[in-house]
Structure 1
Amino acid sequence: MKIARIETFHADGGYRVCSYLKLTTDDGLVGWSEFYDGLSGAELAPLIHGFARTALGMDPRATGLLSESLLATTRLAQGGLSHQAIAAIENACLDVHAKSLGIPVYRLFGGPFRDRVPVYWTHCGSFRVRHAAFYQSLGYEPVRSLEDFTRLGREAAAAGFRALKTNAVFFEPHGPVMMNAGFRIQPNFLDRSISERQIDAVIDQLQAFRAGVGPDFGLMLDVGFSQRTEGFVRLARRLEPLNLFWLELDTADEEALAIVRQSSRTPIASLESLHGLSSYRPFIARRTVDVAIVDPVWNGVWQSVRIATLADAFDTHIAPHNPVGDLATLMSAHLCAAVPNVRIMELRYDEAPWTHGFLTHPLQIDEGCVRVPERPGWGTDIDEEALRAHPVKTH
């Protein structure tokens, strides 16, 4: 079996573009993966097609060999977008390999450790601030006050979730504003210094959610790269009385992250921005996190299983990062079924409703868990007609 063709597809996802890779073998098998195009303003698809020229003619069932070979070609400029492009190819190879054997992907790694994975509603409320016009076009009530966070908390609990994650939102005179995570060009985004007034506002926001979800519900706060070390330490200490599920933050410095974790009783989750086993090694070996976040879309599921195994050797949980849609959620679910040390899984619950029709076999979510499919491969294919019915909007 050889890779005969690699194609990329894009469709309208509301406030984002949905992107997929289709891999076809010389005997007609098809594998799919989802990838995130345009996160940094640079498109990933051209890189995918560049690496595809090397992958053509290779055996997709030798996924580890293919992945490591492609990554070796990037040693002079490793990580980042190159790794994400290779991961998209790797993940489609896993789909093909499992389909060729008539088994789910998780069985390639000795799973399942579980057939249901608990999920949390990510960016709850905060994305309804960042993408306010889109959500209002769908008929959702806008976020205008702290009471709206309480309302959304009740909605999350009623939907069966047992945890949610939000981002800091500040109510300014001109309206609510989601705090910059430190990687989007906006006024003063390079300052990366939170004030005590803003920390007070974060605490008020989380207390508003707590009023809606009750005492036993998991609350998470994601602040990304928004602070330097002292800001993260101040925030983590101030949040201790709230008993968070975790505070999620990012830094490129393992010593700084270790300081943050050691300075507070607030659990720390991080590392979603890392690429590859060697990048994770110093952070995990230094015990910098309570939960190591691993992105199977950006790293590849085969590579992510290796990272999870490293974390398990240091008695550390992992949690998949999922910045995109339903196929990526299934890819994360197979990762979670393949390894023992999973804490919880990320889910974008209020995506554009038509994107759920992009899968031939939709997600099954009940009682706050995603069911891991038993069908071959990821357990679904992509409906190309559905993609064509929702072309990317041009502005």
Structure 2
Amino acid sequence: MKVAKIETLACDAGWRNYHFVKLTTDEGIVGWSEFDEGFGAPGVSAVIHKLSERVIGKPVSDHEVIYAELYCATRPAAGGVIALAMAAIENALLDAKAKALGVPVYALLGGKVRDKIRVYWSHCATWRINHPDYYKPAIKDLDGVKAIGAEVKKKGFTAAKTNIFIYDDKKQNPKGYRPGFGVPFSPALNVDRDVLRNLRMHLEALVDGAGGEIDLLLDLNFNAKTEGYLRILREIADFKMFWVEIDSYSPEALGYIRRQSPHPISSCETLLGLREFLPYFREQAMDVAIVDTPWNGVWQSMKIANAAEAHEVNVAPHNFYGHLCTMMNAHFSAAVPNLRIMETDIDRIAWDDELFTHVPEIVDGHLIMPDRPGWGTEPNEEALKAHPPKGKGLLNYGSEKK
């Protein structure tokens, strides 16, 4: 069975677009993958189209050979959007191969270690603050944060992750604090007292709403430098944190932070390829390595997870996309022995479920693994057409309300 055609499709996903690869074989089997082009990665679709010229006519089962050939062809400019495009093609090949064999993708990865996967509610309060037009009810004050904390517990989730927000003088009208992404534009990335005070208020409200009975995760992204991260960690030392997520370009700096942190540290969601992860493993820079399988490719991500295991580090997938990405990450999570927990977004846009043939089944805070062939879901092309993608202005999701 050989690759006959590779296409990219996209649709409106509210404040962003979803992007997909559709790989058709000469036997009529279709493999799918989901990728992201909006969050700092413009042009992935164009790279996929260009790389496809080297993939057409190749055996679907030879995904490792295909990946190696594509790497050789792009070695002078390896990484970045090229790596993302290669991963998108690899993931579609895996889906097609598994469907041809009549097995779930996790069977290609060595079989599942677990039947259900603990998930945490990601962007808890975040989406309802940043994107109130799409996620209801909108959160406008600390009472709204308490309410979603209670909702997390009521719906059976045992863990939730949130971000940093700045409230006005009346402790209302929160706004996302993301200087690492230019919101606000403050390239020095200094952390002042106001940021620390607001962070404490926000975390206290979320914990209070949940009755103190959920594991709390905090994502700091690239929003500080070493000094600032340490200030934040000292400020929240009295909280019982499941982890604090930190992005840093320096494994040495991250290792320095981890050795002084009162909380477990997770990191690495923006890294591409095993070679980029290795310095962080050697430095023992984090407690949990976050792997983005849409960006790395699920097959390549298994190699990263294996290396993490050899360094006594557990892994967790980065997952803030559509339902297809959730299932791609679920197959990875089902197969790796050293899984910590899986990220997923519970707040969804109104038409999310229409876009896919099957949606993830989550019971008591756990994703139940299906045994359907391939990823176990695929895009509904008619639904994609009914929600055409937005045009320009989505780089780094700059069109969101600020």
TM-score band (shorter)?
A: over 0.9
Aligned counterpart for 2:142 among listed residues 146, 171, 193: 146
What is the rounded CA distance, in whole Å, between the counterparts of 2:65 and 2:186 in structure 1?
41
Percent identity of paired positions between Structure 1 and Structure 2: 41
Determine if contact 1:19/1:37 at 8 Å carries over to the other structure: yes
Aligned residue type for 2:102 = G
Aligned residue type for 2:103 = I
- Counterparts of 1:54-203 in structure 2, within 5 Å, are 54-135=54-135, 140-172=136-168, 175-180=173-178, 182-183=180-181, 185-203=182-200
Q: Against the structure 1 CA distance between its residues 187 and 157, is the aligned structure 2 distance closer, same or farther, given a 3 Å change threshold?
A: closer
Determine if contact 1:319/1:343 at 8 Å carries over to the other structure: yes
Aligned residue type for 2:322 = G
- The reply on whether 1:356 has 2:353 as its aligned counterpart is yes
Determine if contact 2:16/2:390 at 8 Å carries over to the other structure: no
Determine if contact 1:3/1:26 at 8 Å carries over to the other structure: yes
What is the rounded CA distance, in whole Å, between the counterparts of 1:43 and 1:128 in structure 2?
29
1:329 aligned residue: 326
Q: Against the structure 1 CA distance between its residues 80 and 181, is the aligned structure 2 distance closer, same or farther, given a 3 Å change threshold?
A: farther
Scaled by the length of structure 1, the TM-score of the pair is: 0.95
Structure 1 residue runs of 4+, over 6 Å off? none
Q: Against the structure 1 CA distance between its residues 41 and 131, is the aligned structure 2 distance closer, same or farther, given a 3 Å change threshold?
A: farther
Determine if contact 1:181/1:223 at 8 Å carries over to the other structure: no
Map Cα deviations across residues 312-370 of structure 1 (whole Å, 9 max, x no partner).
Answer: 11111100001211000000000011110111111111121312122212211111111
What is the rounded CA distance, in whole Å, between the counterparts of 1:326 and 1:287 in structure 2?
32
- The reply on whether 1:365 has 2:337 as its aligned counterpart is no
- The reply on whether 1:317 has 2:317 as its aligned counterpart is no
- Counterparts of 1:20-39 in structure 2, within 5 Å, are 20-39=20-39
Map Cα deviations across residues 230-272 of structure 1 (whole Å, 9 max, x no partner).
Answer: 1111111222210101101101100000001001121100000
Cα distance, 1:172 vs. partner?
2.9
Determine if contact 2:127/2:347 at 8 Å carries over to the other structure: no
Cα distance, 1:394 vs. partner?
4.7
* Matched residue count: 390
What is the rounded CA distance, in whole Å, between the counterparts of 2:199 and 2:339 in structure 1?
28
What is the rounded CA distance, in whole Å, between the counterparts of 2:305 and 2:56 in structure 1?
29
Cα distance, 1:143 vs. partner?
1.6
Scaled by the length of structure 2, the TM-score of the pair is: 0.94
Cα distance, 1:72 vs. partner?
2.5
Structure 2: gaps (5+ residues): 393-402
Cα distance, 1:19 vs. partner?
1.0
Structure 1: gaps (5+ residues): none
Aligned residue type for 1:144 = K
Does 355-364 or 283-292 show the bigger shift? 355-364
Does 69-78 or 239-248 show the bigger shift? 69-78
Determine if contact 1:149/1:209 at 8 Å carries over to the other structure: yes
2:277 aligned residue: 280
Cα distance, 1:41 vs. partner?
6.2
Q: Give the secondary-structure state (helix, strand or coil) at the position aligned to 2:134.
A: helix
Determine if contact 1:144/1:175 at 8 Å carries over to the other structure: yes
